[in-house]
Amino acid sequence: MADKVRLGLIQLCGCSGCHISLLDLHEQLLDVLPALDIVYAPIVADVKEIPEVDVFCIEGGARNEHDEHLMHEIREKSKVVIAWGTCAVYGGIPGLANLYKTEEINTTPYYTKTTDNPGVIPENGIPKLLDTVKPVTDVIKADYILPGCPPKPALNAAAIVALLNGKDPELPKKIVCDECPREKENVFPKEFKRSFEGTPDNETCLFEQGYTCVGMGTRSGCGAMCPSANMPCRGCYGKTDAVLDQSASTANTYANAGAPALEIPDKVGLLNRFSLPAALISKKVQK
């Protein structure tokens, strides 16, 4: 794919963090932008109709019928579709909504204590919610995935450069632990702590200290940013290629700690924080 790439960008059920991460190339933007012809990007440009494009990056999954409709339209008009960021690939944080009935998602905001006319549910001129949050990859065929919440600027740039050179973008294959500078002794914790408890040692593995880090089940690429900031990984890059399911592979490690692992609060929300809609367990949760 030589010359200028006609690029489309859109945010559906996401937060625009992936778009912002692209801008976080900062000065490098001035090198990347000349190679791109951004023909559609509601967040930065005033174009109303989706044109034919070479590469379309979709940020976010589908929360409502309109999102789903746009995904189909984008697929028809694009040569290459990239599921851009963890919401697009696995459902992301908004996918936690799949733990609840759609009716609850649709009505709870209209019963809060500040609502003066509780029970009025908006329905005019707005798209209907789907029954669940669906990743892009559940709705249409995505040619590539680019996970991360958000994907780091360098990953965005590498994907663009690969496509410009007619190559397939490549993703990191390892886990967050491989990038984490903390020392490991290969022991399992005797009890688990919540993140506000105590003060973690700065040098050693957070999981081994009993903090609920999920780096062992999570694709690398972030540079272990959270553990480096003294906070356990929450799995935002999703699973690696080697496993079927992020939470199952993480739970497998936790099981080695025995009974204390059972005491961890909200295991489903911890182990599936960013990938519930794509998880094996989600089919069961919805029953």
Partner 1 sequence: MGKVTIEPLTRLEGHGKVTITLDDSGKPTDVKLNITALRGFEQFVVGRPAEEVPRIVPRICGICQTAHHLASVKAVDAAWGAQIPIAAEKLRELMHLGNMIHSHALHFYYLAAPDFVLGPDADPAVRNIIGVIGAAPEVAKKAIAMRRFGQTIVEAVGGRPIHPVTGIPGGQAKVFTEEKRDEILTEMDAMIEFGQEGLAIMKSLNEKYLDTIKTLGVIDTWYLGLVKDGKHNFYGDTLRFMSPDGKETMDFKPSEYTDYLGEHTVDHSYVKYPYNKKVGYPDGLYRVGPLAMINVCDSMATPLAEEARKEFVETFGKPANQSLAYNQARLIELLSACERTKQLLEDPEITSTDIKAEVQPKAGNGVGVVYAPRGTLFHNYETDDNGIVVKANMIVATTHNVPTMEKAIQQAASVVFK
For partner 1, the binding residues in 267-286 under the rule CB under 8 A are 269-270, 273
- Is 209 an interacting residue with respect to partner 1 (CB under 8 A)? no
Mask 172-191, x = binds partner 1 (CB under 8 A)? --------------------
Mask 145-174, x = binds partner 1 (CB under 8 A)? ----xx------------------------
Alpha carbon 197 to its chain's center: 27
User: For residues 273 and 221, what is the distance between their CA atoms, to the nearest angstrom?
Assistant: 18
The residue length of the chain stands at 287
User: For residues 189 and 8, what is the distance between their CA atoms, to the nearest angstrom?
Assistant: 47
CB contact at 8 A, 95 and 277: yes
- The 3-state secondary structure of 145-193 reads EECCCCCCHHHHHHHHHHHHCCCCCCCCCCEHHHHCCCECCCCCCCCCE
Query: Closest approach of Cβ 168 to partner 1, in Å?
Result: 26
Query: Closest approach of Cβ 182 to partner 1, in Å?
Result: 14
Three-state SS at 112: coil
Choose, by CB under 8 A, the member of 79, 106, 162, 248 that binds partner 1.
106
Query: Closest approach of Cβ 108 to partner 1, in Å?
Result: 4
Query: Closest approach of Cβ 79 to partner 1, in Å?
Result: 21
Q: Which residues pair with 175 in a beta bridge?
A: 219
Choose, by CB under 8 A, the member of 99, 157, 248, 281 that binds partner 1.
99
Segment 32 to 91, residues that bind partner 1, using CB under 8 A: 33, 38, 41-48, 63-64, 66
Per-residue tokens: 282 = 């989600």
- Is 195 an interacting residue with respect to partner 1 (CB under 8 A)? yes
Choose, by CB under 8 A, the member of 97, 145, 155, 216 that binds partner 1.
97
Q: Which residues pair with 7 in a beta bridge?
A: 38, 55
Give the nearer residue to partner 1 in terms of CB position, either 110 or 255: 110
